Amino acid sequence: MSGGDKLDFEIRRNPAPVSAADRAALLANPGFGRVFTDHMVTIRYAEGKGWYDARVEARAPIPMDPAAAVLHYAQEIFEGLKAYRTGDGAVTMFRPEANAARFIASAQRLAMPELPAETFVESLHRLVEIDRDWIPDGPDASLYLRPFMFASEVFLGVRPANEYLYCVIASPAGAYFAGGVKPVTVWVSPDYTRAAPGGTGAAKCGGNYAASLAAQAEAIEAGCDQVVFLDAVERRFVDELGGMNVFFVYDDNTLVTPPLTGTILPGITRDAILTLAAEAGHRVEERPISFADWQADAASGRLREVFACGTAAVITPIGRVKFPDGEFLVGGGEPGRSTMALRQQLVDIQRGRAEDRHGWVRQVL
d(CA 166, CA 197): 28
Asked if residues 320 and 183 have their Cβ atoms less than 8 Å apart, the reply is yes
Q: Tell me how far apart the 2 most distant CA atoms of the chain are, in Å.
A: 63
According to DSSP, the residues that pair with 308 across neighbouring strands are 246, 316
For residue 323, the SS3 value is: strand
Q: Which residues are catalytic?
A: 204
Select from 272, 280, 325 the least CA-distant residue to 95: 272
d(CA 348, CA 52): 38
d(CA 1, CA 227): 41
| DSSP per-residue codes, 190-226 | SS--S--TTSSTTS-BHHHHHHHHHHHHHHHHTT-SE
Select from 269, 207, 201 the least CA-distant residue to 233: 201
According to DSSP, the residues that pair with 326 across neighbouring strands are 323
